[in-house]
Every structure is written in structure tokens, then in C-alpha cells.
Amino acid sequence: MQKRKLGKSNLEVSALGLGCMGMSFSYKPFPEKQASIDLLRAAVERGVTFFDTAEVYGPFINEELLGEALAPFRAKIAIATKFGFDINPDGSRGARPTNSQPEHIKQAVEGSLKRLKTDVIDLYYQHRVDPEVPIEDVAGAVKDLIAAGKVKHFGLSEAGAQTIRRAHAVQPVTALQSEYSLWYRRPEEDIIPTLEELGIGFVPFSPLGKGFLTGKMDERTKFDSTDIRSSIPRFSPEAREVNQALVDLLGQIGARKKATPAQIALAWLLAQKPWIVPIPGTTKLHRLDENLGAVQIELSANDLRGIESAASKITIEGARYPEHIEKMTGL
């Protein structure tokens, strides 16, 4: 497995990480616990060294899953987790949507360390920007945790360019995690230039468009009411019918490269910058193998120009989130 460094930091990870949320959050039905443990360990065997979780996934049970599954390999992998939602120690939600008060962060890290069965978190992200807490205070709290040896690197998720700059001035930001793919390209406007200027790595989540870019669904696909996609405008049957044009494009390129649409979508992301590390999620071993195969696909400058030209003629239909969720981002 190829390795990449996240920006100018010394955090070197596999070129593709594994997003673990779907093992216990948002995409029911969830696999049996042992099946997830087996998948996580299979990922390690295949060279994946970067695993992404969060305290809110469950809440808590996703971190517990990774802690159990990855304990035997802890010395050779990097675990990223996140704080920032208002969660009580018993798992119930607090009174506020987000909570990045410094005292709450320092309480949250103790729980994450325990659940992950580790004494240090490799990359600790603020999960969502908290409008009630200055980002300088958040960065300062994580700086304290780094000084205490409980955290190695500071990250942000779904933060805007100015927020990134303000945080970075207090405690260098190692990575930003935000949605980025061929069907959500807003980070290209000001986020990616800001990251490049500051030497910050980029970790795209939903690099396969929550499964849509795999080509394994169409306008007839049904989602359970517990599946987050059932409430996302971009996944309405009408939107999927329009957006299929992008999947068709990936399929056409894949046919020439002897690759799947998902592999082309991931190869395209990897080709954008050498400090981009996508984290596709899956609960299936054959999908893990398919995704990892993207690392071997080389897209030439001519290939990339062709994709850009064709993609520019496709207008994506539907918002990426319901309005109440989109409001929680710092973009």
C-alpha cells in the first residue's frame, strides 16, 4: 500500500484510509460485531493504516469496536476520532447540538482514549464548528491535550477557510476532513487553496458520494427510513435519475482502464493533490478490495482533462444534506 503524508506534518498514513461510521451509525442494518472486527483486521492485513471514527457514532460503540479490533495492531496504525457534539457520559444527547467548550473536550478525550484502548489519539478532529465557542479556544484545548501526550495531531471537519486559519494560528492543523468527490466539489473554491498554502492535509469523507458513485444504485433503489440517504435531497429518485450521468461517465472511463466506477472516482481524488487521503467506508470485504485497487490506477493528465471536460457539462441535482444538517457545517 502506498503511503502519504498529511500536509507538512509527520503523520504518514496509507493512501486510502477506512471510514468506519457505517459499521454502527447512519446506514442500517449494521453488520454483526465480529464481521466488522474481521473487516477491520483484513484492512490492516492489506496495508491500511488509517482508521476514522467518532464518539458520536453510536454514540460510543464505533470507538469501542475499533478499540477491540485494532488493539493487536495499535503500534502500526493511526486512529482518528472526533469530538464536538453535545453528548453526555451515558450516551444521551445534551441540550445543545454541538459542544466544543474546552472543559467538554478534555472530558471527551478521556472517554475516547478508554474506548479506543489506547493512551494517545493520532488525530483528534473537531467534528463540527461550534458557533458558541471561539475556534481559538478549541485549538487551545487541543494544544493542551497534545502537550499532555494524549493527542498527537489536531484536525478540523467541515470548517471554512477563515476558521481553519484562525485555528492554525493557535495550534497547527494537521488535516481537514470534509466532503469532497466528483459530485461535491465546493472545497475547490477556497478550502483546497487554503490547505495548500498552510501545509494542511485533506481527508475527503464520502469520496464515493455515500455509495452513489459506485454505480450500484439507480432511481429505483429503495432506502430504509433509518438510512440517512432517505432524507438527503440528492438521493431522491428524481435527483438520482439526473445524477446518473456522472456515474455513466465514471463507467465509461472505467471501461477503458479496466476499473470500476468507484475505483475511477477514488483515483481521481488521489490525483488531485499528493496530500489528499480519502476514507471510503464499507462493511463488505469485496468492496474494501475494490476500493484499495484504486491506488494502482494511474490517471494521466490527458485522462484528468477529459474527466474535467465531461464533468463540467453535468449539473448535479439536489442538496447534499437536509437544511438542518447543512446549517451545522462551518462552510
- Which residue among the candidates 27, 57, 180, 184 is catalytic per the annotation? 57
* Contact assessment for residue 30 and residue 21, using Cβ atoms and an 8 Å cutoff: no
Phi-psi label, residue 206: left if phi above 0, alpha if psi -120 to 50, beta otherwise? left
- Please indicate whether residue 124 is annotated as part of the active site: no
User: Quick check: 240 and 221 in contact, CB under 8 A?
Assistant: yes
SS3 285: helix
Instruction: Please say whether the dihedral angle defined by the alpha carbons of residues 303, 304, 308 and 314, taken in this order, is positive or negative.
Output: positive
Helices (H), the chain: 33-45, 61-70, 102-115, 135-147, 161-170, 187-198, 237-257, 261-272, 285-292, 301-311, 323-326
Residues marked as catalytic = 57
